[in-house]
């Protein structure tokens, strides 16, 4: 019994150490970051249904594009090399109605916590590292990135037009749009991401006079035409989609 | 007794003398300004990855930038940083062969500094003229508050188009990283590390706005196509009148990722001027802000 | 009578294990539970001591107590004076006893070296009465009564009689029975060899001898390593790749946190391309391991590079002499054939063994074949004991790689499968090793020891692994993309090293203070040639070059270790170690010129760096009671870096480690129960984490680990051994990882847990070994063992947790005369567990849109395996 008491007493420091360590560590803490999820919503511009472009009155009957896949990246230069690991992504391309004024959910972004500073994305046509040629996603309207149908009127001149525009990735393993800076937001704080598309700005870049001189009805704007080129540069560089993260106060 | 004590004392001395030194003392950082080879050397036509594929040969006679405000901080200790507000105006076609030192920092902690940045900024009266740069050019930069002044020409088969473009495209470049490895640089204790912000000179010949590696083609035809009055000289005003969609066909160009919207050819040039700041040769500084 | 030489005239070919254990024990040592069943040495032939003439003339007498080491061959190996009566009496007694011959001590019927005490009483002529000493026991046929030479008075000697076998005391225990005055037969204490020499450095030193090591089933040396408290070993990548060792909160991906020695040769490879400190112990044949010494923490000045979590040393030796042939066959086509030869009459260190092993692998793409041999030869070289060691090994294994957890959950791939793409099935590893070492040691009778060892090792490594699928783009030609991220890592390593040490004899300036000092030099030079490329399967065309470097490095270490005993119950061990590290790196791809840049220089970047890692290492040991020891230790260590990542002129080319330990050790019930408990702190200036994109270890931030480890070892009966160890650790990252271009501000929370480190590691082993019946002229004995391991859910990145791992291994064997038949079952419960889990982004489905968000990947651990082994032993 005496031996037992002595043993017990000498074990006390170890027991205390054990208890202390348990208190410190049991179930305490994790590795810091978390997986996050937030919806991706798209909104068009109802004004695009009918607007003025340098004297021409443009009326759109149909304006659709395919948006996605989208990657949101930690560095400001979202690109294949600077975004090998993305903060959040939406892998599916979804159809967006550019004439809708109300937001519509087009996907769920999955990712991890951390700051997002830029985005890279495709418009329904992807060219991954393992594909020899670009692939058109099922949501692409008519097999193209964008499709517009409408009428242009200026005084007595009027014609209908149909436009197919492709935003092609420049090379294998790239996205159509890279390095699109967004407001730095922590993915943990993001409740939703709203991407806004303004078709008026894009169509305003077209030289409508030149189209009128084609004297066709309907004018067919093919992906390799100058007008399509103007739309591509507008979407990619002059009036790109706006990215707005919604926080806790929607 | 003495012989017995001696080893004991020696041993005790050794034990007590052990101070368990850490990584050693601080070091020095020397910041050089380096010009990419395309500035003094120009670009050659050809089909290689480093050539201008549409046959134009490019040469610069002047390439002045205002560069400075080097800064460094580290993620492991956000309170520790060092910086300099020295701005140098330098003609990168005339950088002395011994290199151009922007700033020297001494007594810097010997650790990894991974948040590096510097500015390409408009010159002002506080700016310093670099050796080898002409006084007249320096005065031009200061008087106009330009951050960039390039003078050169493109030439193909006898056809020469000259340009003289000066503007303020002040940009802050941050989060610089060498081509491989972790961002920033490590200061060796008791030694000196040479850090080289590198100014590139061919970005407005790229067919995209590069973010990471410069995987791109080089084309110069757009300058020729912007010569609206065909006088063999392209001015910034002429560039401002040329629609981007006219000279940058989508089949060849991808203009996404610019800091400013691109509607005209001038916007393209300015957007590319906002990307000139690189690091340690081909390393990028992807965090860019217009000042 | 002719005077005897001081030197032992023992046969130079016969070297006892004790001497070599002394050599191996320039290392942390500790006491261990004493196995039972030992018989003492018996005197066969005795020689009289010659009374010193000077003392005779002055009628002086004295008592000398000698501590005599009797070899396994029955000859006197060394003599040490425990109680002195003056130089002349000591010399006379020593000279006499050197010529004595013994029947050696035996344990379990096998001859072993032993240490005994022999008192000599020199009675001066005035009081001399010729009393013959009376040897009592009848079991000493060769002993003779002390005769009296005609010219000299009798020197009284005590007779050796069969002493009662008792458990030895650890440390400087006083003899169990005191000599009564006038009695002329003093019982001899017996200590089975070596155990009294061992001293604990901290409560975290463990020595496991062969019996303990063989309790639970073992297939390879890594299973032996699991005996140490807190060690868990996984093998996520097959036989040709080093094990993943968990110890004290360190997840040594391939051994980089544990300094491992096999014999005199250090195994860790500095600046290895897969991870600095890569230590592949696949070449160690478990049947030739006699002792495993594990030191947890870095408190011994002898611990050098890579001793971050601790050190492990495999001491090789074969107790059972003769020839052993062993064949194993079992699940998944596992076949292993081993031949081992330990010639009779030679010490345990002399042996040769060779093996071949093959397996089809427990799942797709896991076949492997390996073969190796180890040989040692112990001999005398003048007054030196020498050991020659040679080993060779080669292994090639196919690797299954890792699988995405979402593919597993969706059923696209099975748990033990591999991806079917050529870039996944082409994963393989090849490793080979050859090493040679020569050790010399000399122990003088004054207690001083001097030793040296020289070693040479060659290691080659080629790994082809694809973790990320199809994400990479060539740097050499950016058009080449999506060809499969099959990383080929190649590492060729030549290392030469030496160690010199001298331990002084004991000095005692005052009665309450005694000690000795050891000084040593350890040096090594490494030449490493390494490369990393991207290959396109199946023809392995090279489509990118990532690394091409040659590193010449050296590590010159000096240490001083002072061992002081203050009063009877305080022991202070302290020392300091300084290592000079230098590196010369030739980085052939440094200053790389990308294809889109005009060449304006020649590619290649050479860097040099040199620095000194200096740190104290001290242990304070208090022994307030005979069965209780309390330890407090502090030490600073280092780990050499990946030399390619050094900056030019870097003055501190290493990672700094600081650790502290506090522990107790109890030895109860005649050492049948040993309990040790220690709490520890370890701080690392830069930690490492595996990066799947580069398939290497990359730097992360500062880290700290706090925890405790408890070990209980019980041997209630001679035939039953049980041990239990519990380790708890709280490992945190204390500074954010360095910023990278694609992650300029890595998210970080102070105190976030370090991923991959299991908070709880529990290991339990029970083994029984007993004679059953006597059958047909021989004893039939049986052995059963059970080993259980438990890892609590490991924290993974993004606040996830891996599943807990519980593994049960069992073995049973029957032995009759020369034959032994055994069955081993690994993973008895057949649990489907992941040997490793990672989080990173990968793209495996070529037709799908790639995901760039980090996902969980697992490498499967082996399922239930049953192995049958037949062994034949003959002399």
Asked whether C198 and C31 are in contact (CB, 8 A), the reply is: yes
Residues A18 and A141 in one domain: no
Contacts with B284 from chain A: Cβ below 8 Å: 77, 82
Reported as a pLDDT band with limits 50, 70 and 90, residue C489 is: very high
Which residues have CB under 8 Å from B115's CB, separation 6+? B72, B73, B74, B75, B81, B174, B175, B183, B184, C739, C744, C745
CA distance C258 to chain B (A): 21
Would the CB atoms of A168 and B250 count as touching at under 8 Å? yes
Give CA–CA dist B167/C311, Å, rounded. 64
- CB contacts of C301 in chain B (<8 Å) are none
Interface contacts A/B by beta carbons within 8 Å: 97
Half-sphere exposure of B195 (CA within 13 A, CB side): 31
**Does the pLDDT at position C30 exceed 70?**
no
Measured in whole angstroms, the distance separating CA A1 from the mean position of its chain's CA atoms is 75
Query: Taking 80 as the threshold, does the pLDDT of residue C148 lie above it?
Result: no
- How far apart CA B118 and CA B100 sit, in angstroms, is 15
In our burial notation (b when 16+ CB lie closer than 10 A, e otherwise), range C535-545 reads bbbeeeeebbb
Q: Is residue B221 part of a domain?
A: no
* Residues A170, B208: C-beta atoms closer than 8 Å: yes
| Contact across the interface for A31 and C679, Cβ inside 8 Å | no
Same-domain pairing of A163 and A125: yes
- Residues A14 and A45 both lie in one domain: no
Tokens of C868: 């049958």
Nearest to C696 by CA among C506, C456, C463, C453: C463
Mean pLDDT throughout C291-307? 91
Q: What is the mean pLDDT of residues C796-824?
A: 91
Q: pLDDT tens across A163-178, in order?
A: 999 999 999 999 999 9
Please give the average per-residue pLDDT across C6-34, as a whole number: 37
Q: Which residues of A touch B279 (CB under 8 A)?
A: none
Give the containing element (helix H, strand E) for C21.
helix C17-24
Angle at C679 between CA C673 and CA C682, to 5 degrees: 140
Whether residue A58 is predicted with pLDDT greater than 70 in this model: the reply is yes
pLDDT given for residue C607 in this prediction: 92
| pLDDT reported for residue C240 | 80
Same domain, A195 and A164: yes
Residues in chain C within 8 Å Cβ distance of A25: 706-707, 728-730, 759
**Is B35 a domain residue?**
yes
Nearest to B255 by CA among B236, B274, B280: B274
Q: In 3D, which of A58, A39, A41 has the Cα closest to residue A50? A: A58
Distance CA C358, CA C374 (A): 18
How far from the centroid of its chain's Cα atoms is residue C677's Cα?
A: 20
- CB atoms closer than 10 angstroms to residue B135: 8
The token pair that represents C871 in the structure block = 């062994």
Q: Which among C598, C649, C740 has the least Cβ separation from residue B183?
A: C740
For residue A45 the two structure tokens come to 């511009």
- Pick from C14-23, C499-508, C622-631, C776-785: least confident: C14-23
Domain-located, residue B202 = yes
Question: How high is the mean pLDDT of chain C?
Answer: 82
Same domain, A132 and A222: yes
CA distance C766 to C759: 24
Choose among C72, C142, C661: nearest CA to A14: C661
What pLDDT, on the 0 to 100 scale, is given for residue A19? 52
CA distances from B144 to A152, A228, B276, C86 (A): 45, 39, 20, 101
Are residues A131 and A50 part of one domain? Answer: yes
Return the number of CB contacts < 8 Å for A and C.
166
**3 state SS of B240:** helix
Mean pLDDT over C647-670 rounds to: 87
pLDDT (average), residues C488-513: 93
Q: What's the pLDDT at C212? A: 63
Burial C199-238 (b: 16+ CB within 10 A, else e): bbbbbbbbbbbbbbbbbbbbbbbbbbbbbbbbbbbbbbbb
Domain that residue B59 falls in: 23-206+277-290
Which pLDDT score is estimated for A6? 59
B75 occurs within a structural domain: yes
What is the torsional sign of CA B95, B96, B99, B105? negative
Spatial distance between the Cα atoms of B284 and C350, rounded to a whole number of angstroms: 61
**Pair C160, C140: CB distance under 8 Å:** yes
pLDDT, one tens digit per residue, over C456-479 is: 999 999 999 999 999 999 999 999
pLDDT of residue C200: 44
pLDDT of A13 reads 52
> Would you say residue B213 lies in a domain?
no
The position carrying tokens 């050529």 is C422
B144 CB neighbour count, 10 Å cutoff: 14
What is the residue range of A176's domain? 34-246
Distance from CA of C843 to the nearest CA of A (A): 10
Judge whether B151 lies within some domain. Answer: yes
Q: Look up residue C843 and give its DSSP letter.
A: B
DSSP letters for C496-557 = EEEEEEEEPPPEEEETTEEEEEEEEEEEEEEEEEEEEEEEETTTTEEEEEEEEEEEEEEEEE
Domain count of the fold of chain B: 1
The pLDDT of residue C44 is: 77
Q: What is the pLDDT of residue C568?
A: 82
- Residue A175 parent element (H or E): none
Average pLDDT, chain A: 87
Same domain, A19 and A125: no
Q: CA-to-CA distance for C113 and C101, rounded, in angstroms? A: 13
Give the tens place of pLDDT for each residue, C707-718. Answer: 999 999 898 988
Helices (H), C647-755: none
The pLDDT of residue A3 is 54
Report pLDDT digits (tens) over C843-873. Answer: 999 999 999 999 999 999 999 999 999 999 9
Best to test chain A binding among B177, B184, B219, B254 (most A CBs inside 10 Å): B254
C141 pLDDT band, cuts 50/70/90, is very low
Cα-flanking dihedrals φ and ψ of residue C235, to 5°? -135, 85
What number is the ipTM of this complex? 0.88
For B121, half-sphere exposure in the C-beta direction (CA atoms, 13 angstrom radius) is 21
**Which pLDDT belongs to residue C269?**
95
What's the pTM? Answer: 0.81
Task: Classify residue B134: in a domain, yes or no.
Answer: yes
Residues of C in contact with B49 (CB under 8 A): 478, 595-596
Under a CB-based contact definition with an 8 Å cutoff, are residues C802 and C820 in contact?
no
Give the whole-angstrom CA distance, residue C579 versus residue C522. 9
Q: Which residue has the tokens 């294994």?
A: C397
- Same domain? For A5 and A55 the reply is no
Chain A residues in contact with B245 by the CB 8 A cut-off are 205, 226, 229-230, 232-234
From A177, A229, A238, residue closest to B249, measured CB to CB: A229
pLDDT interval class at A49 (50, 70, 90): confident
* Beta partners for residue C618, in sequence order: C574, C634
User: How near does any CA of chain B get to the CA of A237, in Å?
Assistant: 5
Q: What is the pLDDT of residue C236?
A: 65
Residue C125 — very low, low, confident or very high, per pLDDT cuts 50/70/90?
Answer: low
Neighbours of C164 (CB within 10 A): 10
Per-residue pLDDT, B4: 47
Tokens of A111: 């990712």
The pLDDT score that the predictor gives to residue C473 is 93
Structure tokens at A33: 């970051």
Instruction: Label residue C87 exposed, middle or buried (CB < 10 Å: 0-12, 13-18, 19+).
Output: exposed
Confidence label for C700 from pLDDT (cuts 50, 70 and 90):
confident
Residue B218 domain-assigned (yes or no): no
Q: Which conformational region is residue C168 in: left (phi greater than 0), alpha (psi within -120 to 50 degrees), or beta? A: beta
Let me know whether A109 and A19 are in one domain: no
| Chain C contact probe: residue of A37, A85, A110, A187 with most C CBs at under 10 A | A85
Number of neighbours of residue A61 by Cβ within 10 angstroms: 12
Judge contact between C203 and C661, C-beta under 8 A: yes
**According to the model, what pLDDT value does residue C497 have?**
97
Q: C580-594 as b/e, with b when 16 or more CB fall inside 10 Å?
A: ebbbbbbbebbebbb
Closest chain A residue to C753, measured at CA: A31
DSSP state of A92: S
Nearest alpha-carbon partner for C98 in C196, C3, C16 = C3
Q: How many domains does chain A contain in total?
A: 2
Lowest mean pLDDT among C192-206, C208-222, C308-322: C192-206
CA atoms of C96 and B217, how far apart (whole Å): 94
Backbone angles phi, psi at C315, to 5 degrees: -95, 125
- Cα A233 from Cα B250, distance rounded (Å): 7
Query: What is the per-residue pLDDT for C690?
Result: 84
| A43 and A21 within one domain | no
* A59 min Cα distance to partner chain B (Å): 23
Is C392 or C72 the better-scoring residue by pLDDT?
A: C392
Query: Which residues in chain B are contacts of A204 at CB distance < 8 A?
Result: none
Per-residue pLDDT of chain B (291 residues; tens, 9 = 90+): 444 444 444 444 444 433 333 456 788 999 999 898 899 989 999 988 889 999 999 999 999 999 999 999 988 788 889 999 999 999 999 987 777 999 999 999 888 898 999 999 999 999 999 988 999 999 999 999 999 999 999 999 999 999 999 999 999 999 999 888 788 888 887 788 899 999 999 999 999 998 877 888 999 999 999 999 999 999 999 999 999 989 999 889 999 999 999 999 999 999 999 999 999 888 889 999 999
Q: Residue A235 and residue B254: Cα distance in Å, rounded?
A: 11
**Domains, in order of start, for chain C:** 17-30+33-197 (3.30.2420.10), 205-874 (2.40.170.20)
Distance CA B101, CA C206 (A): 58
Mean pLDDT of C135-142: 32
What are the DSSP calls for C335-395, one per residue?
EEEEEEEE-TTS-TT-EEEEEEEEE--SSTT--EEEEEEEEEEEEEETTEEEEEEEEEEEE
| Closest-CA distance of chain B to residue A2, Å | 41
Please tell me the predicted confidence (pLDDT) of residue B237: 93
Alpha-carbon distance B83 to C85, whole Å?
76
Measured distance CA(C487)–CA(C468) in Å, rounded: 10
Read off the pLDDT of residues C752-768 as tens digits, 9 standing for 90 and up: 998 888 899 998 989 89
A contact chains, 3+ CB pairs < 8 A: B, C
Report the alpha-carbon distance of residue C299 to residue C657 in Å, rounded: 11
Residue C700 phi, psi (nearest 5): -130, -155
| A118 shares its domain with A10 | no
Q: In the predicted model, is pLDDT for residue C199 greater than 60?
A: no
Domain check: are A111 and A7 in the same one? no
């Amino acid at each position: 019994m005496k031996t037992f008491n002595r043993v017990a007493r000498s074990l006390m420091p170890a027991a205390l150490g054990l208890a202390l360590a348990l208190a410190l560590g049991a179930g305490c803490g994790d590795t810091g970051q978390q997986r996050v999820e937030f919806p991706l919503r798209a909104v068009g511009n109802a004004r695009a249904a009918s607007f003025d472009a340098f004297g021409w009155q443009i009326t759109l009957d149909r304006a659709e594009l395919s948006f996605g896949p989208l990657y949101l990246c930690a560095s400001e230069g979202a690109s294949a090399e600077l975004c090998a690991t993305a903060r959040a992504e939406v892998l599916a391309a979804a159809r967006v109605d550019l004439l809708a004024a109300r937001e519509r959910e087009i996907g769920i972004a999955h990712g991890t916590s951390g700051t997002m500073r830029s985005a890279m994305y495709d418009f329904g046509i992807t060219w991954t590292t393992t594909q020899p040629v670009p692939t058109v996603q099922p949501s692409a309207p008519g097999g193209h990135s964008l499709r517009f149908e409408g009428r242009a009127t200026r005084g007595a001149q009027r014609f209908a037009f149909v436009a197919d525009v492709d935003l092609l990735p420049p090379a294998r393993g790239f996205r159509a749009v890279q390095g699109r800076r967004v407001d730095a937001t922590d993915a943990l704080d993001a409740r939703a991401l709203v991407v806004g598309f303004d078709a008026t700005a894009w169509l305003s870049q077209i030289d409508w006079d030149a189209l009128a001189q084609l004297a066709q009805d309907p004018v067919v704007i093919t992906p390799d035409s100058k007008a399509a080129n103007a739309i591509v540069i507008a979407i990619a560089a002059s009036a790109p989609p706006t990215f707005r993260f919604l926080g806790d106060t929607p | 007794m003495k012989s017995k004590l001696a080893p004991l004392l020696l041993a005790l001395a050794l034990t007590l003398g052990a101070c368990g030194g850490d990584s050693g003392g601080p070091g020095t950082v020397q910041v050089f300004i380096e010009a990419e080879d395309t500035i003094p050397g120009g670009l050659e036509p050809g089909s290689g990855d480093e050539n201008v594929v549409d046959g134009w040969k490019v040469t610069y006679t002047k390439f002045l930038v205002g560069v400075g405000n080097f800064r460094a901080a580290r993620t492991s200790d956000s309170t520790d940083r060092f910086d300099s507000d020295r701005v140098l105006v330098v003609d990168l076609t005339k950088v002395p062969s011994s290199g151009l030192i922007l700033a020297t920092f001494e007594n810097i902690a010997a650790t990894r500094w991974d948040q590096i940045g510097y500015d390409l900024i408009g010159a002002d009266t506080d700016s310093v003229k670099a050796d080898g740069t002409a006084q007249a050019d320096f005065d031009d930069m200061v008087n106009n508050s330009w951050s960039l002044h390039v003078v050169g020409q493109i030439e193909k088969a006898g056809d020469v188009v000259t340009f003289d473009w000066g503007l303020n495209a002040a940009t802050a470049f941050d989060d610089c990283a060498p081509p491989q490895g972790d961002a920033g640089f490590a200061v060796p204790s008791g030694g000196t590390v040479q850090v080289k912000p590198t100014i590139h000179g061919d970005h407005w010949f790229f067919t995209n706005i590069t973010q990471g590696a410069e995987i791109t083609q080089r084309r110069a035809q757009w300058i020729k196509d912007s010569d609206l009055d065909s006088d063999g000289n392209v001015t910034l005003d002429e560039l401002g009148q040329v629609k981007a969609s006219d000279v940058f066909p989508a089949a060849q160009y991808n203009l996404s990722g610019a800091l400013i919207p691109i509607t005209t050819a001038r916007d393209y040039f300015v957007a590319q001027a906002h990307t000139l700041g690189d690091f340690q040769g081909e390393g990028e500084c992807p965090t860019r802000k217009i000042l | 009578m002719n005077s005897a030489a001081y030197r032992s005239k023992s046969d130079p070919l016969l070297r006892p294990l004790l001497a070599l254990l002394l050599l191996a024990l320039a290392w942390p040592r500790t006491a261990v539970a004493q196995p039972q069943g030992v018989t003492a040495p018996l005197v066969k032939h005795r020689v009289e001591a010659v009374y010193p003439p000077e003392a005779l003339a002055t009628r002086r007498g004295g008592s000398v107590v000698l501590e005599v080491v009797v070899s396994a061959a029955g000859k006197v190996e060394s003599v040490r004076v425990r109680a002195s009566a003056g130089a002349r009496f000591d010399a006379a007694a020593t000279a006499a006893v050197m010529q004595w011959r013994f029947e050696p001590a035996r344990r379990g019927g096998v001859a072993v070296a032993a240490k005994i005490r022999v008192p000599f009483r020199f009675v001066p002529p005035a009081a001399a009465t010729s009393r013959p000493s009376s040897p009592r026991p009848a079991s000493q046929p060769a002993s003779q009564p002390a005769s009296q030479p005609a010219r000299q008075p009798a020197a009284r000697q005590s007779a050796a009689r069969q002493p009662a076998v008792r458990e030895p005391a650890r440390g400087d225990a006083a003899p169990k029975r005191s000599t009564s005055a006038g009695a002329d037969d003093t019982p001899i204490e017996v200590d089975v060899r070596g155990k009294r020499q061992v001293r604990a450095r901290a409560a975290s030193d463990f020595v496991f001898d062969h019996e303990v090591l063989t309790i639970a089933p073992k297939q390879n040396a890594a299973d032996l390593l699991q005996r140490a408290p807190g060690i868990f070993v996984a093998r996520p990548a097959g036989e040709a790749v080093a094990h993943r060792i968990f110890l004290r909160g360190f997840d040594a991906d391939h051994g980089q946190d544990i300094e491992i020695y096999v014999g005199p040769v250090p195994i860790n490879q500095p600046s290895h391309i897969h991870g600095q400190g890569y230590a592949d112990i696949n070449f160690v044949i478990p049947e030739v391991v006699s002792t495993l010494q594990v030191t947890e923490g870095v408190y011994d000045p002898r611990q050098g590079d890579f001793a971050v979590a601790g050190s492990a040393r495999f001491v090789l030796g074969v107790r059972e002499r003769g020839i052993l042939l062993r064949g194993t066959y079992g699940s998944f086509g596992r076949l292993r054939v081993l031949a081992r030869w330990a010639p009779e009459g030679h010490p345990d260190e002399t042996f040769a063994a060779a093996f071949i092993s093959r397996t089809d692998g427990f799942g797709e793409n896991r076949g492997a074949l390996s073969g190796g041999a180890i040989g040692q030869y112990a001999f005398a070289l003048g007054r030196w004991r020498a050991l020659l060691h040679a080993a060779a090994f080669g292994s090639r294994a196919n690797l299954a790689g890792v699988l995405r957890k979402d593919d597993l959950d969706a059923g696209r791939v099975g748990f033990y499968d591999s991806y079917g793409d050529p870039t996944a099935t082409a994963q393989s590893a090849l490793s080979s090793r050859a090493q040679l070492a020569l050790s010399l040691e000399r122990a003088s009778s004054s207690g001083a020891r001097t030793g040296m060892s020289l070693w040479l090792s060659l290691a080659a490594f080629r790994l082809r692994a694809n973790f990320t699928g199809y994400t990479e783009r060539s740097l050499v030609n950016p058009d080449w993309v999506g060809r499969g991220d099959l990383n080929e890592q190649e590492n060729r390593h030549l290392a030469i090293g030496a160690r010199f040490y001298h331990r002084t004899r004991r000095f005692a300036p005052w009665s309450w203070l005694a000690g000795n000092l050891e000084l040593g030099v350890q040096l090594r030079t490494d030449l490493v040639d390494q490369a990393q490329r991207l290959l396109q399967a199946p023809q392995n065309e090279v489509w990118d070059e990532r690394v091409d470097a040659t590193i010449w490095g050296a590590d010159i270490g000096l240490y001083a270790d002072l061992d002081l005993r203050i009063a009877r119950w305080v022991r202070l061990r302290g020392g300091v170690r300084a290592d000079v590290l230098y590196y010369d790196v030739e980085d052939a791809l440094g200053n790389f010129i990308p294809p889109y840049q005009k060449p304006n220089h020649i590619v290649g970047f050479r860097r040099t760096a040199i620095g000194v890692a200096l740190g104290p290492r001290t242990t304070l040991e208090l022994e307030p009671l005979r069965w209780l020891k309390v330890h407090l230790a502090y030490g600073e260590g280092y780990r050499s870096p990946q030399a390619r990542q050094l900056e030019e002129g870097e003055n501190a080319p290493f990672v700094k480690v600081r650790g502290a330990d506090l522990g107790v050790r109890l030895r109860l019930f005649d050492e049948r129960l040993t309990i040790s408990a220690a709490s520890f702190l370890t701080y690392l200036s830069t930690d490492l984490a595996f990066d799947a994109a580069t398939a290497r270890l990359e730097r992360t931030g500062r880290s700290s680990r706090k925890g405790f480890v408890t070990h209980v070892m019980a041997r209630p009966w001679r035939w039953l051994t049980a041990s239990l160890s519990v380790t708890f650790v709280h490992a945190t990252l204390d500074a954010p990882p360095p910023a990278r271009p694609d992650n300029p501000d890595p998210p970080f929370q102070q105190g976030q847990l370090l991923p991959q480190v299991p908070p709880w590691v529990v290991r339990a082993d029970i083994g029984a070994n007993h004679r059953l019946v006597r059958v047909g002229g021989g004893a039939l004995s049986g052995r059963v063992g059970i080993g259980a391991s438990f890892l609590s859910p490991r924290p993974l990145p993004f606040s996830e947790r891996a599943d807990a791992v519980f593994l049960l291994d069992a073995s049973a064997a029957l032995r009759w005369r020369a034959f032994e038949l055994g069955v081993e079952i690994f993973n008895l419960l057949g649990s489907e567990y992941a040997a490793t889990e990672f989080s990173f982004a990968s793209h495996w489905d070529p037709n799908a849109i790639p995901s760039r968000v980090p996902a969980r990947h697992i490498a499967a651990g082996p399922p239930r395996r049953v192995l049958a082994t037949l062994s034949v032993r003959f002399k």
